[in-house]
Each structure stands twice: as C-alpha cells, then as structure tokens.
Structure 1
C-alpha cells in the first residue's frame, strides 16, 4: 500500500499519541523524558480531533499512521473548550508533582495542565488558527509535511480563517526551515523558540 493522506478517523488516535511522543523532543524521540507516555499528546495532539475532527488529517500506509496535522480554527475558543471539557478530567487524574530529579519531565507537563488558562492575544486577530504537525522519520523528506499543511490550510480557508500560527522549539532547526519553505514567516522570537505565521 502506498502512503495516503486522509481525514482523521477515531481509530487513528492511539497512533497519533505514539507519534507525538516519538517526535516530542524538538523533533526527536521523547520516550526517555516521560514516565507516562501519554502526557505529551494529552496536551498537543489528543484534544484537537475531539474538539474538531474536521481539522485533523493523517498520513497512513500498510503499517499504520505515519504522521498527522492537528489544528483549531479559533485558538481562544479552543482554549476555552479545553478549560471546560478537557483539562478538568486530566487535572483530577494528574495532581501536581515535584521534580523527581531523575531527568524526566512529567512534572512540567502536569503543571502545564493545571496552569493552562484561556488568554487572548492580538496575534489571534490576524492568525486565529494554530496547528501541530508530526511525522515519523521514515515519512519525512517525501513531501508529506507540505501536503498535510496544505490539507489543513484548505479546510481553514473554507471556514474563512485568515491565518494560522504555530510555535517551534529553537532546537528544532529542521522544522523551522521546513515551515519557512512552505510559506510561514517568523512573527515573534522567544527564549524557547519562535512563533511562525502563515497568511491564508
């Protein structure tokens, strides 16, 4: 079976969680960083197809899901949805914990789950949408990233969304180069990385 890009199906979610972990350390494997392998995707993959499955697309071949893009058309509305529907269960499931001092970072993500709150930003006036994209190494360099971005961009345009943004870790120089090749530009620089934007 040749790899294909298609809309998300609920059966894809477990593979998306796995891919999020395998690409979660500035594009590399984050397995060693987390005792709980689901935490990273609880923040950066899982809620998106639950909140709005029409803005998630996957690449699949005979072995399963190779990569995905998730997005939301309205970041502030999405963050409000998280606060109402997604975080309460996770906050109950994962109480805050101290740094165990063993190099793992579960405590960082758990704290983020508890501290995350809706916050408006002037950036959302022009770029209200945002996305996350992850591809396994064996699917990289074949144009799938570009096609995933195009699929999501098309879906956002159909909804009249003017622009999309994303954040990139400064260490992930390959990702920054990729986004710039497909038309994103740097809007803000942070101590952790950059916010990139794309006009739709």
Structure 2
C-alpha cells in the first residue's frame, strides 16, 4: 500500500473512486447526482488545497483518499460550496436532487418548530483543520485509512495547526469507531441532517475533534 500526495494526473481516477468508495455507507450518495456532490466534497480540495490531499494506491490503482484542509477559515464553507453546486448544476430542476432539497426544507421547518438543532458548519479556532476520508471496500482492513489519517495529521501539525475536526454521521457507526481509534473525541450534540435518509430513516451529524 502506497500513501502519496495528489497530482493533477490523478483527477479523473480520483473522481471515479469517490463515486464508489462510499458504497454501503449512509453517505453513499447525498442527493443522487455524482458531479455536484464531487463539486462540494472533492473538487475544491483538488483545486484549492491539493497539498492537503493524500491518496492510497495498491498496485498502482487508487483505493482511498483523504481530502483535507489545514485552515478551514481560509477555505469556502460547505454551505458556500453547496450553494455554488446547486446553481451550477441547476439541481432544483433535477428530479432526484429537487426531491432531496424539498425534503431538507421540510425537515428544517419541522426541527425549528420542535426546537431541535439541525446540522451545519463547524467553526472553532482550537480545531481549524478538517478532513473527509473515503476508502474503497477492497481496501478496508488493510491499514489504508489509518495511514491516510496519520499522513494528513502529520501534515496539519507541521503546518502549525493546533487541532483538527471532522463531521460524520451518528448512524455511520463503523466510521465513528475508526475515528475514535485514531484519537478523535465526540463533541457537542447530534443534530438532524435535513433531507438525508439512510434505510428510510433520518440521520444525525456527529462532530469529532482531535488536538495536534
């Protein structure tokens, strides 16, 4: 297993990996449109901070990646990236995404009526770095995910970051256990993620942090 940095020649293969790496997880697909989801959770990291993007390769083929950011305050927020993707891909006019966003609006209104929190961006100067990690099914249990995590955390610490955060789902218990094994602690409440469903049920956001 090789852990290395991203190069521009990896772009197409990495996008293809991102489409299949989350298979079976609660976030396998958010609103059913791969290109716009990549525009939120992958492309900005290739375009704006490629030095914090690390890849796992086996026999020359990509099997995992970690898209990271050392200073989230200097990076477009998830909300900003999502707004841009909605406009660029005209998602409100696409059947699957439109249904997702309509459900998200209803979920948000219900939560507000009930006084329940909903998921959102996380900002705290104690943990300014953040990451997204994905490993294909064939590479799980090989140590690829742990090696990717170690490489990024070393990079963030060397860049002067005091800490890192990530956001996953409460219902993604495999991911939560992995992050805990790599030194992350749970932080804060478990707000509803508007619009998203897993096996027909609502899901909830889990914020986790680690000091460097």
Band of TM-score, shorter chain: 0.7 to 0.9
* Cα distance change on mapping 1:106 and 1:182 into 2, 3 Å: farther
Cα distance in 2 between the residues matched to 1:29 and 1:182:
21
- 1:171 corresponding residue in structure 2: 171
Which blocks of at least 5 consecutive residues in structure 2 are unaligned? 105-119, 193-203
Matched, 1:64 2:61: yes
Pairs aligned (count): 185
What's the secondary structure of 1:47's corresponding residue? Answer: helix
* Cα distance change on mapping 1:178 and 1:88 into 2, 3 Å: closer
Instruction: Provide the aligned C-alpha RMSD in A.
Output: 3.2
Please give the per-residue CA displacement for 1:7-53, whole angstroms capped at 9, x wherever unaligned. 1111222222223222446736836962x322222111111121111
What's the secondary structure of 1:195's corresponding residue? Answer: strand
Superposition pairs of residues 121-200 of structure 1, within 5 angstroms: 123-190=123-190, 191=192, 192-200=204-212
Cα distance in 1 between the residues matched to 2:8 and 2:175:
27
- 2:4 corresponding residue in structure 1: 6
Aligned residues of 2:86 and 2:92 also touching (Cα < 8 A)? no
Which blocks of at least 5 consecutive residues in structure 1 are unaligned? 113-118
* Cα distance change on mapping 1:20 and 1:137 into 2, 3 Å: same
Superposition pairs of residues 2-151 of structure 1, within 5 angstroms: 3-24=1-22, 27=25, 30=28, 34=32, 36-62=33-59, 64-79=61-76, 90=85, 92-97=87-92, 100=95, 104-105=96-97, 108=100, 123-151=123-151
Task: Report the alpha carbon displacement of residue 148 of structure 1 after superposing the two structures with TM.
Answer: 0.5
Task: Report the alpha carbon displacement of residue 164 of structure 1 after superposing the two structures with TM.
Answer: 0.5
Cα distance in 1 between the residues matched to 2:184 and 2:177:
9
* Cα distance change on mapping 1:183 and 1:94 into 2, 3 Å: same
* Cα distance change on mapping 1:47 and 1:108 into 2, 3 Å: farther
- 1:115 corresponding residue in structure 2: none
Moved over 3 A (4+): 23-26, 28-33, 80-83, 86-92, 104-109
Cα distance in 2 between the residues matched to 1:32 and 1:76:
24
